[in-house]
């Protein structure tokens, strides 16, 4: 049996870990079947405990933009580990990573490192509230900013995959300060800002959404959002946990030509180790403890192993900016190839893509927000996911997640992926609509 050992490991894990996983999307609950337990990874490939290999299109959900076990990143971690793993004191490498991140990203003066994207967004909002003296925030339905209370309201990613976009456990008191708007709907945001005049601290957005599948911002919407925030003296917070250092060295700010007030990072900035960060101009960062009154701390924040992985990753990206052109070409080839396979069929589909973030939705209408993303054909998506997995292609196990391509992926891998899709077409066409 192809997944025999994975299956028995999953049985065992469920006895001791809720749902057998430490992050819900991994459980394959919405697509069914047994999650694949990975033993090791190299380059563009994952290898499971049953001896199967997969071309990986999630790259650990984004961080591994250069592929798995990249030599420079691994060497940096190993070298640093020899000197001890954590001190709870300042280290030189934190400043090195801070300097490089600030050099690569437009419009930030200072950066604070935390341990995850969740922490970065949670802290950014606290900072925005402390800086503006206002309580409410606006977020967009289907955007996911980690699992802190203020954001688990019509959230994307696993929250919506498993049917709890607004999580129990979030108090009414917290929820009332989070105002919701549909993605790509500027008029709605304008109305909210008018109605809550003087009470909104920040608008937080995934500038290219990756947690309801990949959803691109309309040009007028995202530029209009910048203008509205300035007019209303509201901070614009870009959650670049997925897009930061991925879409370009300067992330979505660079690609879209927009300067946010606070930017949140995660994933690529940690090189595959647990790192998040938030950054802004000095005037805002000065509100943060120990300079200012907004408290934020962490025993393992700025951890030397994590910093060394992040530094090696950003150094490699900074040295070879051609990586972004290569990723653009591979992603464009993949998207074009998928279209040419699916165009020959009766299957309704949409492919959304910006740079190396892609998603495929089985729906006839453009996917521009959460409502349109949620209209996708689930049965067909599940058949697609499992059909591809059985052919050695590892895709996100939810229609509400983006693919993240990596630079280790070869043209031959893309060909293999397209052949797998081609082979799968009869089964997809037969799927109940």
C-beta of 67 vs 158, nearer to ligand HOZ: 158
Based on the residue annotation, tell me whether 267 is a catalytic residue of this protein: yes
Q: Return the residue nearest ligand HOZ (CB atom).
A: 23
DSSP for 106-156 reads TT-SEEEEESSHHHHHHHHHHHHHHHHT--EEEEETT----SSGGG-SS--
Nearest Cα residue to 352 out of 217, 220, 221, 243:
217
Interacting residues of 343 by C-beta distance below 8 A, sequence separation 6+: none
H-only helix segments in 215-374: 219-231, 251-256, 282-285, 304-319, 322-342, 370-373
Q: For ligand HOZ, which residue of 5, 13, 19, 26 counts as binding (CB under 6 A)? A: 26
Beta bridge partners of 294: 288
H-only helix segments in 302-346: 304-319, 322-342
* Of 45, 144, 324, 403, catalytic: 144
**Interface mask (CB under 6 A) for ligand HOZ, residues 193-232, using x and -?**
------------------x---------------------
If one asks whether residue 38 binds ligand HOZ (CB under 6 A), the answer comes out as no
C-beta of 34 vs 107, nearer to ligand HOZ: 34
Q: Which stretch binds ligand HOZ (CB under 6 A): 18-26, 248-256, 287-295, 306-314?
A: 18-26
| Per-residue CA distances from 263 to 144, 237, 270, 336 (Å) | 15, 6, 15, 32
Q: For ligand HOZ, which residue of 3, 6, 25, 256 counts as binding (CB under 6 A)? A: 25
Is 213:400 a contact under the CB 8 Å cutoff? yes
The CB-of-403 to ligand HOZ minimum distance in angstroms stands at 12
Based on the residue annotation, tell me whether 403 is a catalytic residue of this protein: no
Angular region, 116: left φ>0, alpha ψ -120 to 50, beta rest: beta
Site for ligand HOZ in 388-417 (CB under 6 A): 401
**Interface mask (CB under 6 A) for ligand HOZ, residues 151-170, using x and -?**
------xx------------
Nearest Cα residue to 162 out of 308, 19, 25:
25
Cβ count within 10 A of residue 174: 15
C-beta of 158 vs 302, nearer to ligand HOZ: 158
* Of 267, 369, 394, 413, catalytic: 267
The CB-of-98 to ligand HOZ minimum distance in angstroms stands at 25
Q: Which stretch binds ligand HOZ (CB under 6 A): 19-27, 73-81, 249-257, 358-366?
A: 19-27
Rounded to whole angstroms, how far apart are CA atoms 362 and 300?
42
Active-site positions read 144, 239, 267
Residues that bind ligand HOZ (CB under 6 A): 23, 25-26, 61, 157-158, 211, 401
């Amino acid at each position: 049996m192809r997944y025999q050992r994975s299956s028995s490991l999953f049985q065992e894990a469920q006895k001791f870990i809720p749902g057998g996983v430490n992050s819900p999307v991994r459980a394959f609950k919405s697509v069914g079947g047994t999650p694949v337990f990975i033993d090791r990874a190299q380059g563009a490939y994952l290898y499971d405990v049953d001896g199967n290999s997969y071309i990986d299109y999630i790259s650990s959900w984004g961080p591994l933009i250069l592929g798995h076990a990249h030599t420079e990143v691994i060497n940096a971690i190993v070298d640093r580990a020899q000197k001890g793993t954590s001190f709870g004191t300042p280290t030189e490498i934190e400043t090195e990573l801070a300097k490089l991140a600030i050099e690569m990203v437009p419009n930030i003066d200072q950066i604070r490192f935390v341990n995850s994207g969740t922490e970065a967004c949670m802290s950014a909002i606290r900072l925005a509230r402390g800086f503006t003296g206002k309580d409410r925030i606006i977020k967009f339905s289907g955007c996911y900013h980690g699992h802190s209370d203020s954001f688990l309201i019509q959230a994307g990613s696993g929250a919506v995959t498993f049917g709890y976009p607004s999580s129990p456990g979030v108090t009414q008191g917290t929820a009332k300060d989070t105002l919701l708007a549909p993605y790509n709907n500027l008029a709605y945001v304008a109305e909210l800002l008018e109605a809550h005049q003087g009470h909104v601290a920040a608008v937080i957005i995934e500038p290219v959404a990756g947690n309801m599948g990949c959803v691109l911002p309309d040009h007028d919407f995202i530029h209009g959002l910048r203008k509205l925030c300035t007019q209303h003296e509201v901070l614009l917070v870009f959650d670049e946990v997925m897009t930061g250092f991925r879409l370009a060295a300067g992330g979505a700010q660079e690609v879209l030509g927009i300067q946010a007030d606070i930017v949140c990072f995660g994933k690529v900035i940690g090189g595959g180790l647990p790192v998040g960060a938030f950054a802004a101009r000095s005037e805002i960062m000065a509100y943060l403890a120990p300079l200012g009154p907004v408290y934020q701390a962490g025993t393992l924040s700025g951890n030397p192993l994590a910093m060394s992985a992040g530094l090696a990753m950003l150094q490699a990206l900074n040295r070879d900016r051609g990586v972004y052109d290569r990723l653009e070409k591979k992603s464009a080839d993949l998207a074009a190839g998928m279209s040419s396979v699916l165009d020959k069929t009766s299957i309704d589909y949409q492919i959304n893509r910006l740079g190396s973030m892609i998603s495929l939705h089985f729906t006839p209408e453009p996917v521009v927000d959460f409502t349109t993303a949620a209209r996708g054909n689930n049965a067909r998506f599940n058949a697609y996911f499992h059909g591809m997995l059985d052919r050695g292609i590892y895709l996100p196990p939810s229609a509400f997640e983006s693919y993240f391509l990596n630079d280790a992926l070869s043209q031959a891998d893309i060909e293999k992926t397209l052949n797998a899709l081609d082979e799968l077409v009869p089964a997809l066409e037969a799927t109940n609509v």
